[in-house]
Amino acid sequence: MALDDQFQRFLFEDSQVRGEWVRLSDSYREILSQAAYPDRIQHLLGETLSASVLLSGTLKFEGSLSIQAQGEGPVRMLLAECSHDRAVRGIARYETAPDGESLDELLGEGRMAITITPDRGQRYQGVVPREHDSLSECLEDYFERSEQIATRLFLFADGEQAAGLMLQRLPGATSADDDLWQRVGHLASTIKAEELLGLDSETVLHRLFHEETLRLFDPETVRFQCSCSRERTLAALESVGKDECYSILDEQGSIEMDCQFCHTQYRFDRNEIDQLFHGHPLH
């Protein structure tokens, strides 16, 4: 695993302003290798993967966070997911290679949502407003409206590397924090794609915020890992329904399913389907 596949939190000392940084290399390229994506979709998927890692850094429990969009434009579906321990996966489905750059040109009319799935407890889904040209602006809008947390996001990807920087002003901020927030937001907005994609976190943060006092937390490794399994695939078959499963069995002799994220193939015979729906094989 390359050292580039890292996530790091940081704080501005004695303030209610915090930040996170991420850069993906091997994990991003592994995800892109699953399909022949056009360049612009590679970039959008990389930005979305980076955002999912940054947003997963706000989780206070074990589970996963996903960003998903469905649209009527060239890109019909987009999904990036990151777990609390920084395992990422992602996929995009598209009809044609897109010409445009903006989110609307890529997705057309459609819906975007953030889904938080704890390992234990209730699943939560929030709708991301689609009123801006970029993913970063839409997600900033989401935090402002849903969480009442001022947020700045900078996301870049080029087909080889994907990276992101997030700043947040937490509740309870003071007037001194107001000044700090304006200052660091302005500094962060000067970051260039080649800097965020090509430099390590300490170099990036020093270039931007060398006049501030930062506390850096230990970096965490990010990796590509699919959460598919035979058990989850069987659960998906159960949701399809008994009649449909037995119809496929009668026609094909077995049921074969491929994971859309990692292309692992799962094959189920009649005994396993009997076990699924009846608790034991039928004879």
Cβ atoms of residues 207 and 243 within 8 Å: no
pLDDT at 3: 55
Are residues 246 and 140 part of one domain? no
Residues of the chain with pLDDT under 70: 1-3, 226-229, 259, 261-263, 280-283
Q: How far is CA 184 from CA 49, 196, 205, in A?
A: 24, 16, 11
Radius of gyration of the chain (CA): 21
pLDDT at 108: 87
Q: Where are the alpha helices (DSSP H) in 79-200?
A: 103-107, 135-142, 175-188, 193-198
d(CA 244, CA 224) in angstroms, rounded, equals 33
Q: Domain holding 239: CATH number?
A: 3.90.1280.10
Are residues 177 and 213 part of one domain? yes
Are residues 169 and 79 part of one domain? yes
Q: For residue 29, is it within any domain?
A: yes
Q: For residue 283, is it within any domain?
A: no
Number of domains in the chain: 2
pLDDT at 11: 95
Are residues 15 and 123 part of one domain? yes
What angle is formed at CA 54 by the lines to CA 52 and CA 139, rounded to 5 degrees?
Answer: 70
Q: What is the pLDDT of residues 170-187, one digit of tens each?
A: 888 778 888 999 999 999
Residue 245 structure tokens: 């499963």
pLDDT at 1: 37
Domain residues for the domain of 245 are 230-278
Report the Cα–Cα distance between both ends of the chain, in Å, rounded.
49
Are residues 234 and 156 part of one domain? no
SS3 state at 172: coil
Q: Which of 130, 6, 118, 124 is nearest to 75 (CA)?
A: 130
Q: How far is CA 32 from CA 38, 43, 46, 118, 136, in A?
A: 10, 10, 9, 27, 21
pLDDT at 2: 43
- In sequence order, the 6+-apart residues with CB closer than 8 A to the CB of 235 are none
Are residues 220 and 235 part of one domain? no
Q: Domain holding 53: CATH number?
A: 3.55.30.10
Are residues 254 and 172 part of one domain? no
Looking at residue 72, its amino acid is E
